[in-house]
Amino acid sequence: MMESTRKEANMAQDYPVSNALAGQTAWVLGGGSGLGAASAEALAAQGARVILSGRRAEALQRIAARIAQAGGTAECQPLDVTDRKAIAHVAAAIGPVDILVYSSGTNVPRRALADLRGDDWSRIVDVNLSGALHCTQAVLPGMRERGQGTVLVISSWAGWRMEPVAGVSYSATKHALPALCETINIEEGRNGIRATCLMPAEAATDVLDTRPNPPSAEARAKMLQASDIGNTVAFIAAAPARMCVNQLVMSPLHNNFYARG
């Protein structure tokens, strides 16, 4: 089998194809890699028009090309989620957004309380938490006007329970994201807008490389894969409008956090 054909076959297996989201626009923040890229591919496979945003334009273009090769529709809008004016500008350029997926996130190797630098704390808060708020605020008026919308925020297992490996900044910001999502449901549910906070445990993505001791290839193979989270995002986005998945915790069967506990 030719390499391109093999990749298309693998993608079709990873992301089931349907038209469940045809006519809808999905804006994926952090769409150039990891869980954001997987979410974008899964949403495109369901027929959504996907807008990819992130800091690295080349990475966004690679994912957009992969989506197009699989028969989907994707556009790129490079964006630094710490820039509020840029968020507003990109949101205006995109137009109405039906599905917002916030997957932007970061961490640092020196993450213990005794080692953490103040500028690293600020950067993690800006990316993991403040960016989620500002992107949500950018799309809410249009969702209210149309009377519907879905917001999916990817938090972490470290947003559900404390894990020493995550560090203080990452844990603090990821714990705050469920509160953001529940606030959306409390205040905007009456307007047809629903929010889900996804809290996956270890997933085999590049963010693992920021750990002081990155896991081996063998260990990563036992973790959740990016496509597991991507397909979950697509399932929630395509769920009946009357249904809200407020929070969802996911873990691999071989859960290293249990082993450490």
Q: Catalogue the active-site residues.
A: 170
Cα–chain center distance at 212: 23
Neighbour tally for 176: CB within 10 Å: 17
Residue 209, token pair as written in the block? 């490389």
In the sheet that holds 99-102, the strands lie side by side as 73-76, 49-53, 25-29, 99-102, 149-154, 193-200, 247-250
70 is written with which tokens? 């699989």
**Of the candidates 134, 107, 110, 113, the residue with the CA atom closest to the CA atom of residue 53:** 134
Which stretches within 15-117 are classed as H helix?
34-45, 57-69, 84-94
- Token digits for 217? 């290839």
